[in-house]
Amino acid sequence: MRYQPIRKEMYISNRAKLVAKLKPGSLAIVNSNDEMPRSGDQTHPFRQNSDMFYLTCLDQEKCILTFCPEHPVESMRELLFTVKTNDLMVIWNGHKYTLEQVSEVSGIKNVKWLDEFEITLRDLMSRVQVVYLNQNEYPKFITEVPSRDVRFAAKMLQDFPVHTYERLAPIITEMRLIKEPEEIVQIQKACNLTNDGFRRVLQFVKPGVLEYEIEAEYTHEFIRKGGTGHAYPPIIASGANACILHYNTNFNTCKDGDLLLMDVGAEYGNYAADMTRTIPVNGKFSPRQRQVYNSVLHILKSAAAMLKPGTSIEKWHGEVCKLMEKELVGLGLINKQELKRQTADSPAYFRYYMHGTGHFLGLDVHDVGSRQVVFESGMVMTCEPGIYIPEEGIGIRLENDIMVAEEPINLMAAIPVEPDEIEELMRG
């Protein structure tokens, strides 16, 4: 294993908390992710279902976790099913968990081979009326490919149509919102890797380099330091590309006088970091670039300080937008007359700042949680204001990962962000 996993005691505790939230006389089932086909006989690199990982630490496909807390046989109350290994499978595809290794990693005492699942399921279903099934309920997630969870739910409804079914996602979402101390450690490690990558890139960037060459520098640093790679497709956007919010083709040449916006985050032990920095390709901000940069930096610092218990993304973003209005007026991009004429549906700032200020972060880069969730200590948020001026070829976004607390904790405090420091490091 390339990363240091969290001790199994956290996963044992997570499962106990989940069981305590289930209705009496119920069964809960969680599936691992699919191996996703690519082309020919290839599959995409496997990434575990975050809920399964949160409950087990198992980083392998074809696993099923079941909870039947009131089963009369104690050994049936918590079960993990995993694919049966053999010598030929190991020769061709490498290591798979043994039953003993599943127990060691997860702390689950009762582990069975996957080929025992169907007969065991019928026993479990005969004991319960309520069945909790899981699926990805992230509001913006839309796909034409049915997940293993969706296919499994359809089969359950077909095979056991007279049971009552409940959603497991809201329970796990509530649990995942507040990070355990061990999870903060993993996120911090991902942030540290991101810092290493950024400092490497500061020494590399100069006029004439290609965006994908910069991406490769990050990739090299993340993987050689024990990360699993990027937490999301990196955005390496030079010049006017920085005004394209989700630009990630990363094939243009970085030109003298342009800015370079890099939205990049390492993944460590399945936990994400999410950083954005904007630097001058030639190592020196122009007066106008520095003016806009300092406005964004001021908002970043002010917005991060607001990430305290009691507010929400919705309320927080509203306050940040008031700061943005003042900065845009100071930059000569909007005027007070435009502010008077603006409406709630068409705010004046939206022309230059058209995205949210942040999102939850954890096992997923866009982690579970809605805009209305009230912040509590231990939640982790990104903070990412930006100003985009296409007519000037300027796009500047700055982003740190912040742990919510009475005194918010910047998990990226070690990553350079002051313009003077960036220029100094680029001079090398």
pLDDT in tens, 251-285: 999 999 999 999 999 999 999 999 999 999 999 99
Task: Report pLDDT digits (tens) over 157-169.
Answer: 999 999 999 999 9
Task: Determine contact, residues 214/198, Cβ cutoff 8 Å.
Answer: no
Given the residues 163, 199, 200, 366, the one annotated as active site: 366
Given the residues 11, 51, 388, 401, the one annotated as active site: 388
Asked if 163 is an active-site residue, the reply is no
CA 352 distance to own-chain centroid: 26
Given the residues 71, 176, 230, 359, the one annotated as active site: 359
* Class of the CATH-defined domain 181-427: alpha beta
Give the residue range(s) of CATH 3.90.230.10 domains in the chain. 181-427
In the predicted model, is pLDDT for residue 200 greater than 90?
yes
User: Angle, to 10 degrees, between the axis of helix 313-330 and the axis of helix 287-305?
Assistant: 150
pLDDT at 139: 86
Distance CA 425, CA 401 (A): 22
DSSP state letter for 309: T
Residues of the chain with pLDDT > 70, as a percent, come to: 99
Given the residues 34, 59, 325, 384, the one annotated as active site: 384
Given the residues 34, 78, 183, 274, the one annotated as active site: 274
Token pair listed for 134? 């899981």
pLDDT at 362: 98
Asked if 397 is an active-site residue, the reply is yes
Given the residues 59, 211, 397, 401, the one annotated as active site: 397
pLDDT at 13: 98
pLDDT at 96: 84
pLDDT at 157: 97
**In this structure, which topology does domain 8-176 adopt according to CATH?**
Creatine Amidinohydrolase; Chain A, domain 1 (3.40.350)
- Mean pLDDT for 276-304 is 98
Distance CA 378, CA 130 (A): 32
pLDDT at 144: 87
Partner residues linked to 82 by β-bridges: 63, 113
Token pair listed for 64? 């099923």
Asked if 274 is an active-site residue, the reply is yes
- Mean pLDDT for 9-19 is 98
* Banded pLDDT at 389 (limits 50, 70, 90): very high
pLDDT at 134: 97
- Mean pLDDT for 188-211 is 98
Task: Report pLDDT digits (tens) over 217-236.
Answer: 999 999 999 999 999 999 99
In the predicted model, is pLDDT for residue 1 greater than 80?
no
In the predicted model, is pLDDT for residue 196 greater than 80?
yes
In the predicted model, is pLDDT for residue 143 greater than 90?
no
Task: Determine contact, residues 132/22, Cβ cutoff 8 Å.
Answer: yes
Asked if 271 is an active-site residue, the reply is no
Does the reported pTM lie above 0.85?
Answer: yes
**Token pair 């975050």 is at which residue?**
50
Task: Report pLDDT digits (tens) over 127-139.
Answer: 999 999 999 998 8
Please give the single-letter amino acid code of residue 366. H
In the predicted model, is pLDDT for residue 190 greater than 80?
yes
Asked if 420 is an active-site residue, the reply is no
Task: Report pLDDT digits (tens) over 327-370.
Answer: 999 999 999 899 999 998 999 999 999 999 999 999 999 999 99
Which residue from 226, 261, 268 is spatially nearest to 384, judged by alpha carbons? 261
Give the residue range(s) of CATH 3.40.350.10 domains in the chain. 8-176
In the predicted model, is pLDDT for residue 192 greater than 90?
yes
Asked if 263 is an active-site residue, the reply is yes
Given the residues 196, 221, 263, 364, the one annotated as active site: 263
- Mean pLDDT for 391-409 is 98
* Banded pLDDT at 316 (limits 50, 70, 90): very high
Greater pLDDT, 140 or 76: 76
Asked if 256 is an active-site residue, the reply is no
pLDDT at 300: 98
pLDDT at 288: 98
Task: Determine contact, residues 356/335, Cβ cutoff 8 Å.
Answer: no
Asked if 217 is an active-site residue, the reply is no
pLDDT at 91: 72
Please give the radius of gyration of the chain, using alpha carbons only, rounded to the nearest integer: 24
Asked if 355 is an active-site residue, the reply is yes
Given the residues 246, 341, 345, 406, the one annotated as active site: 246
Given the residues 41, 74, 100, 144, the one annotated as active site: 41
Asked if 388 is an active-site residue, the reply is yes
- Mean pLDDT for 191-203 is 98
Q: What integer best gives the mean pLDDT of the chain? A: 96
